[in-house]
Amino acid sequence: MIGTAMRFACGGAALAMLAACGNMSSQDSVAAKLVQAARQTVDSRKADAAPAEARDPGQMAATALRVNPGPLIMVGLESQGSTQVMAMTGENAGQRTYMTPNEQALVLRGGMLVGTRGLGHDLSVAESAQSAALIRASRSGQASRTMRYWTGDGLERPMTLSCSISPGPKAGVMLESCQNGPLNFQNNYLVQGGRITVSRQWIGPNLGYVTIQELRP
């Protein structure tokens, strides 16, 4: 239990460090939002379930690590002020799907977000191989990124962005700054041994940012 608490504390510190690397108008507000998101509790959305009691994220992580032997991530949705543990439910060609009991899911490839399911306004797929190679190698450079979203008419709409990859002010943190016209966002990644272990990534204009912490690889 002590090891789990220490792991989560280190992860929380990493999330705060990522927040400090943002380029939004108020870095203090970014850090505050990220810390707040990391401390929020799980809110059960099942209509037939009793209201869930507030739980500390450290307790959530400890319980999940105890009962689930597989890969786990801790996910914080900033727009919803919620934190949930997701377990890996499938892996195909290096692409992992992590899901909650109520079937909300993130799809990751090497720590990079490539899709969401069950959140509403879902990201169908993100194509970011150029960014991923630079980020995992901790190298600067330019890259293109395409993000596809399902719209109300049932069609998939692509959005192409130009991205700049560079080291952040903190050791081990890589920044991915992307732009398409007036739209711009910045993803932050903590890279350790060529692996992304903690990140803050933009899902889309409706869902905003998600923080992802690896609990068990």
The percentage of the chain sitting over the pLDDT mark of 90, rounded to a whole number, equals 70
Query: What's the rounded mean pLDDT across residues 68-79?
Result: 96
**Tokens representing residue 96 in the block:** 């992992």
**Tokens representing residue 89 in the block:** 């439910």
> Mean pLDDT in the chain?
83
Query: What's the rounded mean pLDDT across residues 185-196?
Result: 96
Q: Is the pLDDT of residue 214 over 50?
A: yes
Q: Any idea where the domains of the chain sit in the sequence?
A: 2-216
Does the domain at 2-216 match CATH 2.40.360.10? Answer given as yes
Under DSSP, the state recorded for 46 is: -
The per-residue pLDDT for range 130-147, each reduced to its tens digit, is: 999 999 999 999 999 999
Bridge partner list, 192: 195
The percentage of the chain sitting over the pLDDT mark of 70, rounded to a whole number, equals 76
Which of the two residues, 56 and 18, has the higher pLDDT score? 56
Side by side, which strands form the sheet with 156-167?
112-117, 105-109, 95-99, 82-92, 72-77, 208-216, 195-204, 183-192, 173-180, 156-167, 141-150, 123-127
Query: What's the rounded mean pLDDT across residues 92-111?
Result: 96
pLDDT number for residue 152: 77
Q: Is the pLDDT of residue 37 over 70?
A: no
pLDDT number for residue 144: 97
Bridge partner list, 112: 109
What confidence category does residue 8 fall into, taking pLDDT thresholds of 50, 70 and 90? Answer: low
pTM of the model: 0.78
Query: What's the rounded mean pLDDT across residues 180-195?
Result: 96
For strands 183-192 and 173-180, give the pairing: antiparallel
